[in-house]
Amino acid sequence: MSVRTPSDQARPKRSRRLVGASVALGLLVASIGAPSMAAASCLQGIGDGTYAKSVRTLQSDMMVAALSCNARDRYNVFATPFRSDLQKQGRELRAYFKVQHRGDHFAKLNAYVTELANDASIRHARTGKGFCQSALAVFDELLSNQGQTVDLAGYALRYAIPIRPALAQEIATASNGNAACDELVALNQSVTQ
């Protein structure tokens, strides 16, 4: 007879939530495309720091997928056309952390980037194939638009909302009661509940 500790008892529920989040993320990827008019209205009020954090979330997930899902070639194909966007958002992220954390910004930024990578690795460890399938779908979505301009920051924001609940909170706060943001915030709530 085995004895279950409280942390053991919590694992199945958390695991089901992560699998559910992975499935919901897969569905989200299929519908990411262009935002609705309401979502587009909401996105106008989002700050650069939120976009930069979203792009870094997407990039971290794709880096973990490159290493854990044997998708290095896809990551390299993704990184090439989006290099300038990734670099621009990287600069925005550094600037955001510099304003928010002043002298401690470098350590806070490193901790944040490490947290993103760890979160992605944990989601991969818990959902395995689901994480890889979702990541490969994202690569396909981003790379299928050859010759078309993809708004990487907007795409990353919609990608990151279900993964990073704090982003949904930032959007809700930035919206200042704007009902147009409900669609984006609801994406997070449907995944995390």
Residue 146 lies in a domain: yes
Residue 1 lies in a domain: no
What one-character DSSP code corresponds to residue 162?
A: T
Residue 102 lies in a domain: yes
Task: Print pLDDT tens along the chain (193 aa).
Answer: 333 333 333 433 434 444 344 434 443 443 444 445 555 566 666 777 888 999 999 999 999 999 999 999 999 999 998 999 999 999 999 999 999 888 888 999 999 999 999 999 999 999 989 999 999 999 999 988 765 778 898 889 888 888 888 877 777 776 666 665 666 666 555 444 4
Residue 57 lies in a domain: yes
Contact partners, residue 9, CB within 8 Å, separation at least 6: none
If we measure between CA atoms, which residue out of 94, 95, 99, 132 comes closest to residue 113? 94
Q: Which domain holds residue 59?
A: 16-192
Residue 6 lies in a domain: no
Phi, psi of 151, deg, nearest 5: -80, 90
If we measure between CA atoms, which residue out of 37, 45, 44 comes closest to residue 176? 45
CA dihedral 97, 107, 115, 170 (to 10 degrees): -20
